[in-house]
Copies of this chain bind each other. A is one copy, B any other.
Amino acid sequence: MVGIVFSRWTTPILWVLNEHGRHRFVELERRITTITPKVLTERLRQLERDGLVVRTYHPEVPPRVEYEISELGRSLAPLFAALGEWSINLGKVEQARQDYDAREPVRSRRT
């Protein structure tokens, strides 16, 4: 259920469409540099089906397709804003991991 919005790739896609408006397929590919076309297609289809993204097909040569965030997708804005603010704390998470990994493997379980 939380996976509707938050997964490895749905969050970046929604974020970009929310912040920077309408995008063509290749534009999304360039902005989210490490995603592959296969995965981008799969996630876009899911988001379209869930009503969070609107896909517009322009029957031209060469073909042109545009993706934009829907009204329902826009309602996620406060959530993304909160996420953006919290991301300041990512460094603390990284620090916590290093501290945890530096502790004695066995004793740490009991104390």
Contacts and interface: CB of A to CB of B under 8 A. Distances in A.
Interface residues of A, number: 39
Contact of A78 (B4, B82, B96): B82
Q: How many copies does the complex hold?
A: 2
Interface in A32-63: 48-52, 57, 59
Contacts of A85: 78
A26 interface: no
**Helix, strand, loop or mixed for chain A's interface?**
helix
A71 to B, nearest CB: 9
Given A8-B2, A57-B111, A83-B2, A72 B97 contact: no
- Closest 6 pairs (CB-CB, A-B): A51-B96, A6-B6, A49-B100, A82-B82, A79-B82, A50-B93
Interface of A: 1-8, 11, 48-52, 57, 59, 72, 75-76, 78-79, 81-83, 85-86, 89-90, 92-93, 95-97, 99-101, 109-111
